[in-house]
Amino acid sequence: MFTGLVAEMGEVISLTKRGGGARLSLGTKTLSAAAALGDSISVNGTCLTVVDVSGGALAFDLSDETLHSSNLGLLRKGERVNLEPSLRLDSRLGGHFVTGHIDGIGTIRTKALTGDICKIVIAADERLTGFLVDKGSVAVDGISLTVVEVMKGGFSIVIIPHTASLTTIGFKGPGDTVNIEVDILGKYVSKFLNKGKETRFMQTLSEEGFA
């Protein structure tokens, strides 16, 4: 479990395809010093397990499913990625609950500055936008962000200078891909409502004018 607050940006050392997956090696400034084998770390929002720690580098094995459902398979040597260690029980929750399970890939459609605030529109499948609400939470490349507006074929977010300077969203532009994880609460509520229409709970909601 994560919060969507990026701790640092790592740099891709290598991405080596092998078998049905790949081995990803990242250089880090601080996380590698405290990391141990088996630790969970969010890489561009994807929960990965540390399989090797060597100096300032961390290595992860990527499954075929991870390569298929996220943008990690597109990484190239020298690219930067967002990193966040897993949430500890005594940690402060500054963002929102992020599982590290990517729901799909979006593409930055537009990026525009108004003063020092950046507005970004991300194209995404209706399968994803159906779980989003205005002013709700979404994780984009592992960054906890607030949805400004849900629109046909996508959604918009705004980025403050602090976020832009500490994460990859600051230098990504139109055409670049981003990993998207919708709020897990929205997924559970949607499943409950869709499969529980005949329950007494849903009947009560309907009677009270809520459904």
Residue 206: name the closest of 175, 159, 197 by CA. Answer: 197
* Burial class of 151 by CB neighbour count within 10 A (0 to 12, 13 to 18, 19+): middle
| Spatial separation of the C-alpha atoms in residues 207 and 159, rounded to whole Å | 41
What local confidence, expressed as pLDDT, does residue 195 receive?
Answer: 66
What local confidence, expressed as pLDDT, does residue 91 receive?
Answer: 67
131 three-state secondary structure: coil
46 three-state secondary structure: strand
Instruction: Please report the domains of the chain, with CATH numbers, ordered by start residue.
Output: 8-85 (2.40.30.20), 104-189 (2.40.30.20)
Q: Read off the tokens for 54.
A: 């060597």
Band of pLDDT at residue 95, cut at 50, 70 and 90:
confident
Band of pLDDT at residue 21, cut at 50, 70 and 90:
very high
Q: What pTM does this model have? A: 0.87
Percentage of the residues of the chain whose pLDDT score is greater than 70 = 90
Asked if 118 contacts 164 with a C-beta cutoff of 8 angstroms, the reply is yes
Residue 44: name the closest of 10, 16, 18, 78 by CA. Answer: 10
| Spatial separation of the C-alpha atoms in residues 8 and 13, rounded to whole Å | 16
Q: Per-residue pLDDT tens for 37-70?
A: 999 999 999 999 999 999 899 999 999 999 999 9
Positive/negative CA dihedral, 66, 3, 161, 29: negative
Q: What is the mean pLDDT of residues 175-186?
A: 92
Whether residue 197 is predicted with pLDDT greater than 60 in this model: the reply is no
- The CA-based diameter of the chain, rounded to the nearest angstrom, is 62
Angle CA 160–1–170, to nearest 5: 20
Q: What is the mean pLDDT of residues 184-191?
A: 78
Q: Per-residue pLDDT tens for 100-123?
A: 999 999 999 999 999 999 999 999
Among the residue ranges 8-12, 61-65, 194-198, the one predicted with the least confidence is 194-198
Contacts of 136 (CB under 8 A, 6+ apart): 146, 147, 183, 186
